[in-house]
Structure 1
Amino acid sequence: MKSDTKTLLLAAVLGASVPMAVIAGDDYKDKSTMEKTGDYISDAAMTAKVKAALVAEDDLSALDIDVETDQGVVTLSGMVDNDAQAELAEQKVEELDGVKGVNNKLVASD
């Protein structure tokens, strides 16, 4: 993938992740508004960080990998070409600071 394409993809990924910071769910009804916002911003920031790391990896198609973060635990889902790509994605996420755990639900198409 060309560098310009990766830059555009990264900008799109980061732009799509930030609005998620304002969504609150029932899991947070006992927390103050400040705590709720902080948790979602942290999760949104982690999701963006993970997506950026996946985009930077030439051996992965980041568009095919969905990323969700809940309290620092990252869930990867979607399709990859093979088991090696699923393992590579998980490894890259585990290496990131702030990741508390990884749920790898990636499915290999081979």
Structure 2
Amino acid sequence: MKTQHFTTACAALLIAALTACAPTKTREGTGEYIDDSVITAKVKAVFADDPQVKATQVKVETFKGTVQLSGFVDSRAEEERAVQLARDVKGVKSVKDDMVLRKTVP
């Protein structure tokens, strides 16, 4: 009888653990989190290699394949280049552009 209770308790614990790791609309699963981390790293690496994009000024976040770019850029050309570079990274589903054009004072 004790073995049956122990087995039932272990099964319930396993189900609870697996359910906690399951993705929802607002929370990534473990695999998605790892995939998003890889995408973020690749986008940042592409920015660092590009002379037109100032990688330290553009923040990159990824959630379920959607890359969000934020921060300040010096020109529309830099903003457009950052968006295009991010779109070209394998695994990116879409790019959300929240970058702000820095205004220069004459």
- Specify if TM > 0.5: yes
Shift of 1:30: 6.4
Instruction: Tell me the secondary structure at the aligned position of residue 61 of structure 2.
Output: strand
CA RMSD, Structure 1 to Structure 2 (Å): 1.9
Count matched residues.
81
- Given the alignment of the two structures, is residue 37 of structure 1 paired with residue 18 of structure 2, yes or no? no
| 1:66 alignment partner in structure 2 | 59
Residue number in structure 2 paired with 1:8: none
Partner of residue 84, structure 1: 77
Question: Quick one: distance in 2 between partners of 1:87 and 1:55?
Answer: 16
Distance in 2 (alpha carbons) for counterparts of 1:36 and 1:70: 11
2:43–2:86 contact (8 Å) kept in structure 1: yes
Q: Which amino acid aligns with 1:75?
A: Q
List, as ranges, runs of 4+ consecutive aligned residues in structure 1 with deviation greater than 4 Å.
none
Secondary structure class of the residue paired with 1:60: coil
In 1, Cα distance between equivalents of 2:93 and 2:58: 19
- State the match for 1:75 in structure 2: 68
**Matched-pair contact (CA < 8 Å) for 2:21–2:29:** no
User: In percent, how many aligned pairs have the same letter?
Assistant: 40
1:95 to partner: Cα distance: 1.1
Range with bigger deviation, 35-44 or 84-93 = 35-44
User: Greater helix percent: which structure?
Assistant: 1
Structure 1 length-normalised TM: 0.68
Q: Give the AA of the match of 2:30.
A: T
Gaps of 5+ in 2: 1-18
The structure number with the bigger radius of gyration is 2
Any idea what SS the aligned residue of 1:99 has? coil
Q: Distance in 1 between matches of 2:81 and 2:46?
A: 11
Q: TM-score, normalised by structure 2?
A: 0.70
- Counterpart residue type for residue 60 of structure 1: V
